[in-house]
Each structure stands twice: as structure tokens, then as C-alpha cells.
Structure 1
Amino acid sequence: MAGPSTSQSHPLDSLWQAPTLIWVVLAGLGLATVLALAPGAAADRVVYFGLAAMVIQWIALLTLATLYLLRNALAGTRPVRVAYVALALLVLNTWMVSAITWWLMRGVWPLTQESWESLFLRLTGIVLVVGLLGLGAFQNHWRARQLAVRAKQAELEALQARIRPHFLFNTLNTGVALVHQRPEEAERLLVDLADLFRAALAGPRDIRLSDELALAHRYLEIESLRFGDRLKIEWRVPDPVPEATVPALSIQPLVENAIRHGIERVAGGGTVEMDVVDEGDEIVVTITNPLPNPAGAAGHGGHSVGLRSSRARIEAFTSGRGRLTAGVENDRYITTIRIPRKPTP
């Protein structure tokens, strides 16, 4: 049921984004400017700047391209080791590009042998110093990020812990009432309850969308025994369920909210709707429930605990590509989740 965790984005992911590429180019131009203005540079500093800028850009872009080609091989590697690999590639590319540039252009650019050697040594020294400083900064940044993720996970688990006792006590009371009158339904209720709490106690992990929807469906079956005719369920989910991965217990708490803050507070009950639509690159999950007081719908905030928990899980899992929105439309509370078909590596 559970798959390998992919909830955290890989540190290489940001290297393929346009802002990173732009900053790499600008940083290369800045470094070339510093080299051209430094004491001991060639007399024609404009020529020196042009040559240094060309070499630096080739080194940087070639290193990014190499990391991109190695992204699958490095996907399961620890981030700190990836940083060491990146530093090694940067040094190797510095030597390779410098050697090729010298071999191709030694008779074209008006630089002496000593100037070429000086440029080569300066680039190597700068790459090593900046790379080691960057490696140290990256290690500190990654540790801080891991601590932040763990703190956020602890917060999410605390939020969920506030929801579970309410549901557990109600379910046990329902089971007690059914034991003598409808023992088969009581047995089904306890089996569904065991499945839900097995998922809850398993801890944070990623599961298939179909499995998460199955947990939500079991929850609704339990609540339908408690509410009887007051709860109607419209379940519009394609068969088979589209292939996607979600954090465990990211959708079920939203269904629980629909019961607690909708059906439970409406005297005549109502309908909870679950819709799943495959839009190609995204899977859209929509949960709809009635409002207890449509006139005061604008101030309806009872869903906030479950919403915060699920929104944080989904955004962390998809690195911001997935999203959760909620609002009131036609006197009904609508929660919409957009999940990328393929999570961020």
C-alpha cells in the first residue's frame, strides 16, 4: 500500500528552473568582471573579461547539464553527497574547459603563456574556494530545512491527534448500539475502523490515490451507520482510479470535516459529494458538503484544522505544485485538491 517516500523535493530540482539559470549567468559575468579588474590581469582588460566570461559560462552551464543528465542516478543519493558530486564536476569541468579553450584559442587571443596559466590557476582556486564555502552553506541550509520539515510534521500530527478522539468515541458508541441489533454491520464498522487507525498509526508516508480514497470511503461507511438517513453519499470516482500518489491521510480528514462541520450540524442532514476528475497532468479531487448556516457562510471556519493539515501535507509532498483551495458556493462548502500526476522527484 505504501510507496517510497517522495514528499521532500530533491536539492537538484531547483537547478533546472529559469531563475537559477539566470542567476548562474549573472554570477558568471560578475566573476569575470572581478577577474578582469584584479591586479595582474592582462593589459587589455576587455579581452580578458570576454575570455573569462566565456570560460566561466561554459563551466557553469556544462556542470548544470552534467548534473541534469545524472539526475536519475543521483535521485536516491543523500543531498550532502550530491553536493560533493557537484563540486567534483565543477572542478573537472573547469580543467576541461580551460584546457580546450587554451588549445583552440591560444593563437587567436592576445594572451601570453603566463596569462593563460594565471587564468587557469585563478579559475581553479576560485572554484575550489567558492565550492567549499557553498558546500558548507548548503550543509547548514539542508540541516535547517530537515529540522523545519520535522517540526512541521510534528505540528501536522498534533493537529490530526485533535481530530481522531472525537471520531473514535462516536464510532465506538455506534458499534455498541449495533452489536445486538445488527451484528453484521457492527462487525463491518469495526473492520473499517481498524483499517483507518492502522493507516493513522503507520505514520507519515505516501500512498496511492486509490488507497487514500478507499480510506475516505471506509470512513463514510462508518458514518453512514451512525447517521442513517441523515447522510447521503454521492461517490463519483472513475474506475480505475487515476494513477497518482498522495500523502497518507491527506484526503480522509477533509471528508471527516465535511461530516463534523456539515452533516453533524444540519438538523436534516445532507449529501456529501466526492468527485475525482482526471485532467491529464493533474488529478482534481472535490469534496462538497452542506453548511449548517448558509446565511453566515462567509464566516464559516470550522474546517480550518483539517484544512491546514492537508494543505501543508500536499504542498510539501508536491513542492508547491499541488494545491488545496476551499470556499463556499451555492450554500455548500467546497474543498478542491489538485494533485500532479507525477510528484516532484
Structure 2
Amino acid sequence: MPANESTNSPLDTLWRVHAILWMVVAGEGLAVVLALATETSSDRLTYFGRLSVAIQWVMLLTLVAIYALRKPLSRIRPQGVAYVALCLLLINTWVTAGIAWLLMRDVGPMPAGGWQALVLRLTGIVLAVGLLGLAAFQNHWRARQAAVQAKQAQLESLHSRIRPHFLFNTLNTGVALVRRRPEEVERLLLDLADLFRAALAGPRQISLEDELALARRYLEIEALRFGDRLSVRWELPGVMPAVTVPALSIQPLVENAIRHGVEQLPAGGEVEIAVSTTPGTVVVRITNPLPHPGSHSHPGHRVGLNASQVRIEALTDGRGSVQTQVAGGRYIATVRLPVGT
């Protein structure tokens, strides 16, 4: 599964709170440097205040301009977007200087060399800072793309490991069913076909409802094998939240609940799948009973859990998570998905 689409667009990062805060801080830092480096006859703190207001206005106007042009800019290569942003920064510097000249030409003393010299100095400063920022962006973008490619390779590796992992167990279930209850083979084959189709389709994103349907298919197969030893309880909302998940990211957690919980208990147990919502988050919780202390249970290699965790974090750009805990004698796997994924 590819990483979240937003990772392929440099524009999306500009609208995040931490990015805006960093730009504000960088602007204040530039104002401090200019206030300390410039000879001025006025109060230096007042001079810093004027610089700060001017710089923040330039940055604000540039952000607004980029946001207004976000659709046409989304069709340009990231490096081209950076050059457009530099041009907008220059234009907004001239606009801000022109507004300042209109408002302040009769208020305070004329800058040394006149307003034209001031505009030239500001243009030089903006070009120097902008070109440095452009070089830093290009290096950052190359590193980000390399990280995305490395993450994609890791996801494909995990997917190739988990595919035979659950198909092998499903086939074993089918073999056991054919021997003991051949009349139910048709039901098995239908469910198995859905699981094969999902596994062989490769990394992709599907709706949470479709992913839970795959988990239901898997549980139906396991119910044929375990009989009365397995009970399943679903707690689902009337309307399923409209979020997407990587295909086969929740089903492996359900499979773990069977293999490391119910299967290890002679009397079996109950697997519970619950979906709930909180403001801005969809929570999927899978719980299963714990094996008895001293039982010869296999801890497993955590392939399914690790694959689900990495793929969900990649899809949600780190905002989603998969966490596990033990509480009340049950093992709990909790998946959190941000709304809008």
C-alpha cells in the first residue's frame, strides 16, 4: 500500500499547525537578526516591531496566495511549486513595502537612501533567504521521497510475508472441513474466494466496512473449524464510519485473536470486534481471551500485528495507530483511525 496521498504533495504540509508555527518563528527570527544588524536612529525595539509586522504580513500574503492557487499548483512538480512560492514571496514583499510607503511616508523619517533603496535591500534579503529555503526544501524533498520509497518497500515486504501466513492457515481450515463436514465446503469456498481475492489484489485501500466484511469471512471459516469453541460478538454502529484502511490490516488482528487466544484454550472463547467513534477518531477494538498460565502457547512472530501497525501509520501519515494491551484477562488490540482518512 502506498503511503498516504498527502505525502506526495508538498502543499498539504503548509496548512498544518506545526508548519505555520515554524514559519511564524522563522519570521520572528529574521526580524531579530535584521533589527540587530541594521544601524537605526530610532528605538531598536520599535524597529523590530515594524520589521516583525512586515515580515509576518509578507508570509501571510504568500500563504494565502499559495492556498488560492493550490489547484493549479497541485499539477506542478514539487520543485516548480517551490519556485512559484519564491516568486510570490518577492511579489508580496513589494506589495507590503508599497503599502508601508503609502501609510508611513508622512509619519516617520525617510529610510537611508530612500524607499527605493529600502525596497532593493528587502528584495536582496528575500532572494537570499528564499534561495536558502529553496535549497533546504529540495534536500528535504529528496530525503522525504527516499523515506517514502523505503517505507513502500517495507510495506510490500510485510505484505508478501503476511499473504502466505493467513492463506496457509485458511487452507488448513479448509482441509479439516473437507474431511469432517464436506457438505459445508461450498460455504468455505465462497468465503475463501473473497479472502484470496483480497490477498492477491496487492497493497490497496478499502473502506472500513469492506475490511470488516473480510474479517467476517475469515471468522465464518474459523467457526466451521472450531464449532462451539468459538463465539463471536460484533458491536457495530448503525452507520459505519466512512474511513479507509489498508486491505488486510484488521483481518490479521482478528486472526491473531483466534490463533493466540481461542485456539490455545481447550474450551475455546469469545472474540469481540467493536467499532466506536470519538470526536475526530474511529476506534476498532478486537479482544480475545488469554491462554491459561503455563499453557504451551506459541507467542508468534508478530508479523500480522507489525504489518497492520506499519500500514495504518503509513496510510494516516502517523495519525493512526495500532496498540495492544492486556486487561481483565483479555488481550486487546485497538486500532485508531483519524476521521477523513
Q: TM-score range by the shorter chain?
A: 0.7 to 0.9
What residue in structure 1 maps to residue 229 of structure 2? 230
**1:77-116 Cα shifts (integer Å, max 9, x gaps):** 6544433332232122112111111122122121247242
> 1:242 offset after TM fit, Å?
1.9
Aligned residues: 339
**1:59-90 Cα shifts (integer Å, max 9, x gaps):** 01222233345556656765444333322321
Q: Judging changes above 3 Å, is the alpha-carbon distance between structure 1 residues 179 and 74 closer, same or farther for their aligned structure 2 residues? A: farther
Supply the RMSD in Å over aligned alpha carbons: 3.2
C-alpha contact 1:7 1:247 (8 A) present in aligned 2: no
Distance 2:148 2:288 in 1: 32
Distance 1:20 1:240 in 2: 35
User: Which runs of 5 or more structure 2 residues have no equivalent in the other structure?
Assistant: none
> 1:180 offset after TM fit, Å?
7.2
What residue in structure 1 maps to residue 32 of structure 2? 33
Matched, 1:328 2:318: no
Aligned residues with identical type, % of pairs: 61
Q: Compute the TM-score of the two structures, normalised by the length of structure 1.
A: 0.84
Q: Structure 2 counterpart of 1:222, which letter?
A: I
> 1:134 offset after TM fit, Å?
1.8
> 1:170 offset after TM fit, Å?
3.2
C-alpha contact 1:261 1:292 (8 A) present in aligned 2: yes
Distance 1:58 1:251 in 2: 47
What residue in structure 2 maps to residue 151 of structure 1? 150
Matched, 1:273 2:272: yes
Map residues 32-181 of structure 1 onto 2, 5 A cutoff: 32-38=31-37, 41-44=39-42, 46=44, 48-71=47-70, 78-112=77-111, 114-179=113-178
Distance 1:213 1:281 in 2: 20
C-alpha contact 1:272 1:290 (8 A) present in aligned 2: yes
The equivalent position to 1:313 in structure 2, one of 311, 314, 327, is 311
**1:122-157 Cα shifts (integer Å, max 9, x gaps):** 222222232222223222222222222232233233
C-alpha contact 2:4 2:317 (8 A) present in aligned 1: no
Q: Compute the TM-score of the two structures, normalised by the length of structure 2.
A: 0.85
Q: Structure 2 counterpart of 1:323, which letter?
A: S
Distance 2:196 2:80 in 1: 37
C-alpha contact 2:260 2:291 (8 A) present in aligned 1: yes
**1:141-183 Cα shifts (integer Å, max 9, x gaps):** 2222222223223323333433332432332243344447655
C-alpha contact 2:3 2:148 (8 A) present in aligned 1: no
Q: Judging changes above 3 Å, is the alpha-carbon distance between structure 1 residues 119 and 201 closer, same or farther for their aligned structure 2 residues? A: farther
What residue in structure 1 maps to residue 209 of structure 2? 210
C-alpha contact 1:265 1:292 (8 A) present in aligned 2: yes
